[in-house]
Amino acid sequence: MRPTKFKDTIEELLSLAGVNINGDKPWDLKIHNENFYKRVMTYSSLGLGEAYMDEWWDCDMLDEFFCRILRAQLDEKVRGSRLLLLKLMLSKIFNMQSKRRAFQIAERHYDLDNELFEIMLDSRKGYSCAYWNEAQTLDEAQEKKLELICRKLRLVPGMKILDIGCGWGSFLKYAAEKHGVEAIGITVSGEQLNYGKTLCKKLPVDIRLQDYRDISDKFDHIVSVGMFEHVGYKNYKTFMKVIHHCLKDNGLFLLHTIGGNVSKNSIDPWINKYIFPNAVLPSVKQIGEAAEGLFIMEDWHNFSTDYDKTLMAWYENFNRN
């Protein structure tokens, strides 16, 4: 394909989303390198993201830009190279989230300097979608999410609970302080482990560096907030069986996760390489099939649009600090 053809194709696709090259709208692209067009057509989202990192293009409002291209489903129209297709095929053949690979996400992401997350997140360091119902600030929204979880689990003093993927310990600390429970949290991140132990040192909280497949204790209730995205579709049933085995009779399991509207076996290539390696967003169907025969669905609560507010709050915190 000729260089001009790459450019013509990209301009035509962007026009479907109401985005122009070097236009005057805040979501329009400013192109600084003409090789941008071939790179995007060749490597899809990975090419788009890496071209941005290399300062080949810019945009005043990235969130508005991505909102428009995703709404127009342009990501489905640019498929990318054979190399990306090969990686997709490998994800179907191999278990990319095996126990041996479980700690890779910590090494690549969660073990980054805690100072990065301190300046970006709320004061409790909640790293999942906040609950903005009647909340004005990120701190308020994250606390409302923690209390919502506690209410759904019907926590009472003396209960023993488990938090799978406990992060820096925000839920463990809140549940122990506000509802008087005994809690165990597991994480695959050494940085989160050390921070959480310090945060919860005077509370009946134990945090362990452990993969979920190695849990054997029994609990009144179990919660997992923002971790299921790292489990992988080949392990969904195993995950649910572990929960079922560790849950006492009449216990509740609360799962909080980012979800996909379509069942997929891999994640966006750029996110996989730079943000969450080996992650997959589960669909309603995949979660349901994994839980079938083990659990009764009592409640399904979707507040996905709250993630937009949460992400923008993190973005503002990061830039301000």
DSSP assignment of 27-92, as one string? TSBEES-TTHHHHHHHHHHHHHHHHHHTTSEE-S-HHHHHHHHHHTTGGGT----HHHHHHHHHHH
Looking at residue 102, its pLDDT comes to 56
Q: Which residues of 31-68 are buried (b: 16+ CB within 10 A; e: fewer)?
A: beeeebbbbbbbbbbbbbbbbbeeebbebeeeeebbeb
pLDDT tens string 39-53: 998 888 899 999 999
Mean pLDDT of the chain: 90
Question: Residues 6 or more apart from 65 whose CB is under 8 A from it?
Answer: 19, 27, 28, 29, 59
pLDDT over threshold 70, residue 196: yes
pLDDT over threshold 60, residue 131: yes
Residue 168 burial by CB count (10 A; 0-12/13-18/19+): exposed, middle or buried?
Answer: buried
pLDDT tens string 215-274: 989 999 999 999 999 999 999 999 999 999 999 999 999 999 999 999 998 888 888 888
CB 134 within 8 Å of CB 155: no
Q: CA triplet 260, 300, 309: central angle to 5 degrees? A: 60
pTM of this prediction?
A: 0.88
Task: Give all domains of the chain, ordered by start, each with its CATH number.
Answer: 3-80 (no CATH), 99-320 (3.40.50.150)
* Residue 112: pLDDT band with limits 50, 70, 90: confident
**Average pLDDT of 120-126?**
96
* Residue 26: pLDDT band with limits 50, 70, 90: very high
